[in-house]
Amino acid sequence: MPSTIVTLDAPLDMHLHLRDEVMLRNIAKASAATFSGALIMPNLVPPVSSKEALLAYKKRITEAIGEEHFTPYMTLFFKSEYDRAFLESVREELTAIKLYPAGITTNSQGGVSGFDIEALRPSLEAMSDLEIPLCIHGETNGFVMDREAEFVSIYEKLASAFPKLKIIMEHITTKESVAALDRFENLHATITVHHLLITLDDVAGGMLQPHLFCKPIAKRPQDREALLKVALEAHPKVMFGSDSAPHPRHAKETCGCAAGVFTAPIALQLLTELFDTHRSLEHIQAFISGNAQKIYGIAPLSKKVILEKEPFRVPAEYNGVVPMYASEEIAYSIKGVRHG
């Protein structure tokens, strides 16, 4: 029987961490080799919060990917002091602005403390008028399993107060976030591949698995089922965002384990296997590219990725970064990439 062949057209990763300096140079090609483009997160140290910093970071990314056919869609780290004049000056250089609650995840200390709608109004109204999407890491400082569900009420306030502002609920993990999608026209979401595959039991149900620890943390089986439903049917308001977040091995396999799952080199293989297993391959193209193009209004570079149902053993590490499913076998392999 011939192997299953799947061709993905212009795959997009709409939530990616490329880090900087040595890490950037070590892992950028892991995404650029197979994705047509990615939305690049701005939580560096210091964060990317000026036009000059954005352009300089984009230049470093371009140098790191070399000849790869890949577009870095750039973001700024949200600051409430962004005024209309500044946003107008930088509009053509960015795709979105990322808002982090203060201290909630990696390098987010300069984020928003409290969500006073009136204090945020000048910036968010200007973003709305200029059609700049707002991406949000939606967690409170509550009990870890409840943080995202608690944040839904903040999403609702923002969506109601700024009905023309396109809001992206990043890397959603709960059934509550899924339910919010259909209550507000301006709410959209990214979903990671690891949250479609694992629950908290995989992270901490037996021996602790540091390379599956991330923020937001994986949730309950019923939450995963809600995510699977909208992803596998390619609900028009959801899209793939890996939240692939590399850390060196010593930062993961230690007391005080850093949060982040590194999936960039195997994300497309895992998604293809997942959609195939659930007999939903007809929807994978919309989930990994079509929906994002419509939501963000982008036209990605032409790139076709050919995958075959042939076992692939995941390397133990990529330049010192341990991936999800390191040294394990997955069902699909990438057989080729064509440009144009």
At 136, which CATH number?
3.20.20.140
pLDDT tier at 1 (50, 70, 90 boundaries)?
low
Q: What is the pLDDT of residues 273-327, one digit of tens each?
A: 999 999 999 999 999 999 999 999 999 999 999 999 999 999 999 999 999 999 9
Q: What is the pLDDT of residues 115-171, one digit of tens each?
A: 888 999 999 999 999 999 999 999 999 999 999 999 999 999 999 999 999 999 999
Domain enclosing residue 330, as ranges: 5-339
182 noted as active-site residue: no
Q: How many domains does the chain have?
A: 1
Residue 2 has pLDDT above 60, yes or no: yes
Percent of the chain scored above 70 by pLDDT? 99
3-state secondary structure the chain: CCCCEEEEECCEEEEECCCCHHHHHHHHHHHHCCCCEEEECCCCCCCCCCHHHHHHHHHHHHHHHCCCCCEEECEEECCCCCCHHHHHHHHHHCCEEEECECCCCCCCCCCECCCCHHHHHHHHHHHHHCCCCEEECCCCCCCCCCHHHHHHHHHHHHHHHCCCCCEEECCCCCHHHHHHHCCCCCEEEEECCHHHHCCHHHHHCCCCCHHHCCCCCCCCHHHHHHHHHHHHCCCCCEEECCCECCCCHHHHCCCCCCCCECCCCCHHHHHHHHHHHCCCHHHHHHHHHHHHHHHHCCCCCCEEEEEECCCEECCCCECCECCCCCCCEECCEEEEEEEC
Percent of the chain scored above 90 by pLDDT? 93
Q: What is the pLDDT of residues 184-193, one digit of tens each?
A: 999 999 999 9
Residue 105's pLDDT is what?
Answer: 79
pLDDT tier at 176 (50, 70, 90 boundaries)?
very high
Lowest mean pLDDT among 1-5, 71-75, 207-211, 215-219: 1-5
Instruction: Please tell me which residue in 129, 201, 243, 276 is annotated as part of the active site.
Output: 243
